[in-house]
């Protein structure tokens, strides 16, 4: 069952600009994660934000979480050509602290950075 | 290097010919899982395993089998593949503690004719 939905489905921006992607979900979560996928390759974990956190930073990445609106955003600042990829949000519904059964992925946002 | 290794990376087969996609991780993770990725549908979980000899169905288990005889290995078995199982498959693993962060394999692209 699909839990997270990313928006937009596709985004094309110029190198150096900021990219913002959004994720909405339906039920209460333990944490929310963002993953990146380069074309045809495996997903790579980028950042995790817990349900009791509102904002988190990692390098050029900034993630926010609004549990009242059941939504999250991923901001990539000063984009580079190498940021071209698909970005997925994944919601962890498990409350036991572990278990792949609790992780549900959205369909992804395809980001293209134009040089 | 900590990693999840899948084989084969690419496979073209015919309907009904049994095949196995292997998955191995070297991180001593308790949890392993299989996903398939299809255009417009995102990633969907096929099966997962919480530990050795413990497996359970995900969202789309029909037509697939798994086994977990050893902690490091989690093969995906297609007993009688059909064209609707043409997809990109990913194995993933994570540690059974704290946050549920997955490490993915590089993917196996399967085509069933």
**Tens of pLDDT along B16-31?**
999 999 999 999 999 8
Contact list in B for residue A45 (CB cut-off 8 A) is 101-103
How would you label B55-77 residue by residue, b for 16+ Cβ within 10 Å and e otherwise?
Answer: beebebbeebebebeeebbbbbe
Minimal Cβ distance to B42: which of A2, A33, A100: A2
Cβ separation A50–B100 shorter than 8 A: no
Structure confidence at residue B9 as a pLDDT band (50, 70, 90): very high
Contact list in B for residue A40 (CB cut-off 8 A) is 88, 107, 109
Q: For B55, which residue in chain A has the nearest alpha carbon?
A: A101
Q: What is the pLDDT of residues A64-77, one digit of tens each?
A: 999 999 999 999 99
- What 8-state DSSP symbol labels residue A44? E
Side-chain-side CA neighbours of B95 within 13 Å: the count stands at 8
Cβ separation A100–B100 shorter than 8 A: yes
Alpha carbon distance A11, B58 (integer Å): 31
Closest by CA position to A6, among listed A33, A30, A43, A28: A33
Instruction: Give burial (CB, 10 Å; 0-12/13-18/19+) of B18.
Output: exposed
Cβ neighbors of B50 (< 8 A, separation 6 or more) are A99, A101, B30, B31, B56, B96
Phi, psi of B54 (to 5 degrees): -125, 110
Q: What is the pLDDT of residues B66-102, one digit of tens each?
A: 999 999 999 999 999 999 999 999 999 987 655 678 9
């Amino acid at each position: 069952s699909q839990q997270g939905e990313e928006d937009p489905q596709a985004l094309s921006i110029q190198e150096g600009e900021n990219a913002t992607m959004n994720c909405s979900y339906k039920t209460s979560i333990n944490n929310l994660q963002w993953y990146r996928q380069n074309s045809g390759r495996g997903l790579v974990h980028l950042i995790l934000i817990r349900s009791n956190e509102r904002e988190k930073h990692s390098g050029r990445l900034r993630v926010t979480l609004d549990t009242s609106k059941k939504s999250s955003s991923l901001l990539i600042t000063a984009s580079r050509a190498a940021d071209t990829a698909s970005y997925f949000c994944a919601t962890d519904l498990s409350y036991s602290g572990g278990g792949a059964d609790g992780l549900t992925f959205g369909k992804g946002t395809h980001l293209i950075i134009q040089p | 290097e900590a990693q999840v290794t899948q084989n084969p990376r690419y496979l073209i087969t015919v309907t009904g010919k049994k095949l196995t996609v292997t998955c191995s991780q070297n991180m001593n993770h308790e949890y392993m899982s299989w996903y398939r990725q299809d255009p417009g549908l995102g990633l969907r979980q096929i099966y997962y395993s919480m530990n050795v000899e413990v497996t359970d169905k995900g969202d789309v288990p029909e037509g697939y089998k798994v086994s977990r005889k050893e902690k490091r290995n989690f093969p995906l078995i297609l007993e009688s593949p059909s064209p609707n199982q043409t997809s990109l498959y990913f194995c993933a693993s994570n540690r059974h503690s704290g946050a549920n962060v997955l490490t993915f394999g590089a993917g196996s692209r399967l085509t069933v004719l």
